[in-house]
Amino acid sequence: ERLTAGLQALATKHKAIGDVRGLGAMVAIELFKAGDVHQPDADLAKAVVAEAAKRGLILLSCGVYGNVIRFLAPITIPDAIFAEAMEILEASIAAARAH
């Protein structure tokens, strides 16, 4: 629930996040160009994954169009680590969009 809520909050700040979805602990965001669901943005997904890796957060991109980033954090993740991961994710999205 924390992850979904955090990603939905990010989606309000970043138009490129067109969808937040998941089942249980496995959650994903789908990225689109300018928020247009008809234009999957695989380049942005790849850039976010690369930027996050530089900052110490390992992410997985997937999806038919390569524009989905999937999350599966352990149920026992400490609050501080979760918060740090969300901060890195937000900074990575902002940095990737700036390029």
**Predicted confidence (pLDDT) at residue 98 exceeds the cutoff of 90:** no
pLDDT at 34: 83
User: Mean pLDDT of all residues in the chain?
Assistant: 94
What is the rounded CA–CA span in Å between residue 79 and residue 60? Answer: 21
53 DSSP 8-state letter: H
Find tokens 């994903």 and name the residue: 28
Tokens of 69: 């980033």
pLDDT tens readout for residues 36-80: 999 999 999 999 999 999 999 999 999 999 999 999 988 899 999
pLDDT at 78: 96
**Predicted confidence (pLDDT) at residue 13 exceeds the cutoff of 80:** yes
Mean per-residue pLDDT, 11-18: 94
* Helix-helix angle 79-98:42-54, to 10 degrees: 130
